[in-house]
Amino acid sequence: MPFLTQLADVARRTGHPVTEVDGWKSRGHGPQPEVRGIVCHHTAGPAGGGDYPSLRVVRDGRPGLRGPLSQFGLGRSGQIYVIAAGRCWHNAPSTSSLHTNSRSLGIEAENNGFQPWPEVQLDAYRKLCAELCREFGLPVSRVKAHREVNTAKPDPHSVDMNAFRAAVAALIAGTPGSSWTEDIVKQLPLIRPGDDNLDVKTVRGCLFARGHVPSTVYADLPGGLEGWLTSSLCDDGLVELVRSFQRAQGLDADGLVGPKTWPPLLRV
Ligand SMILES: [Zn+2]
């Protein structure tokens, strides 16, 4: 497996805001060899200090342990920080062969280990796990607390993992658009033909994840699938795929990604 440069797009499918931390696409202790599991952590960082005061430690490491420490950070506001696309030092030794550093992704959620979890942060936590399960074809049972795969660890504190996994399973099985409010939908950008921005990449990633990108679309491109997914241009080919997705959803096939098309595309 290469560096996982799709992780920011996967995170955006949660509907929560995403920060791509500079340099994330090439950050890691080498590429990520496999993704067979997900490990949930808390940072044990300071009690205050803003949304994600542990960013520097998770990115750069601490004495005795070089960063990056995990692929994702999760702020108190539900903001998702994409920190690394390669392997990270978040779980060693592991009691589960599917949750070693070489076989799993880590999420370090900001919490000092005692304070209550804001609901918006838990919502982002569950949705990020759900989108990662979808992306990598994992059963929800592969989402583990650090304490479940490393007996020396307490994190994430006070999260009932059976209830957490049940909620993630419900999200994976969920009805498109079920948790969208009108306010969220109004804030989504309108994507038009010719646009060139990061939101276009999200459209590409979502179409691919929903099975609406036939391999003939990218097979002959120099960059293959990765090149296709990382293009930020809304070109004619993409507009055609959007139309086909809209037809499959029973929507007006106008080729614009707006308030009607985003919810089924993001499937949150
Ligand atoms: Zn941990």
Q: How far does the centroid of ligand 1 lie from the alpha carbon of residue 90, in Å? A: 6
Q: Tell me: the pLDDT tens digits for 144-160? A: 999 999 999 999 999 99
What is 7-173's CATH number, 3.30.70.920, 3.40.1280.10, 3.90.180.10, 3.40.80.10?
3.40.80.10
> Which residue intervals of the chain bear CATH 3.40.80.10?
7-173
Q: How far does the centroid of ligand 1 lie from the alpha carbon of residue 22, in Å? A: 23
- The predicted pLDDT at position 62 comes to 94
Q: How far does the centroid of ligand 1 lie from the alpha carbon of residue 129, in Å? A: 16
Q: How far does the centroid of ligand 1 lie from the alpha carbon of residue 146, in Å? A: 5
Q: Tell me: the pLDDT tens digits for 180-233? A: 566 667 777 899 999 998 889 889 988 887 788 999 999 999 888 888 988 999
Task: Report the percentage of the chain scoring pLDDT > 70.
Answer: 95
**Nearest by Cα to 89 from 61, 53, 55:** 61
Q: How far does the centroid of ligand 1 lie from the alpha carbon of residue 5, in Å? A: 23
Query: What's the Cα-to-Cα distance from 152 to each of 71, 95, 244, rounded to whole Å?
Result: 21, 10, 51
SS3 for 92? coil
Name the pTM for this structure. Answer: 0.68
Q: How far does the centroid of ligand 1 lie from the alpha carbon of residue 174, in Å? A: 29
Q: How far does the centroid of ligand 1 lie from the alpha carbon of residue 58, in Å? A: 11
pLDDT exceeds 60 at position 175:
no
More confident residue, 79 or 208: 79
Query: What's the Cα-to-Cα distance from 132 to each of 45, 101, 156, 209, 246, rounded to whole Å?
Result: 24, 16, 18, 11, 24
Q: Tell me: the pLDDT tens digits for 31-48? A: 999 999 999 999 999 998
Tell me the backbone φ, ψ of residue 65, rounded to 5 degrees: -145, 110
SS3 for 229? helix
What is 182-266's CATH number, 1.10.101.10, 1.10.10.10, 1.10.357.10, 2.60.40.3880?
1.10.101.10
Answer yes or no: are the C-beta atoms of 257 and 190 closer than 8 Å: yes
Q: How far does the centroid of ligand 1 lie from the alpha carbon of residue 118, in Å? A: 19
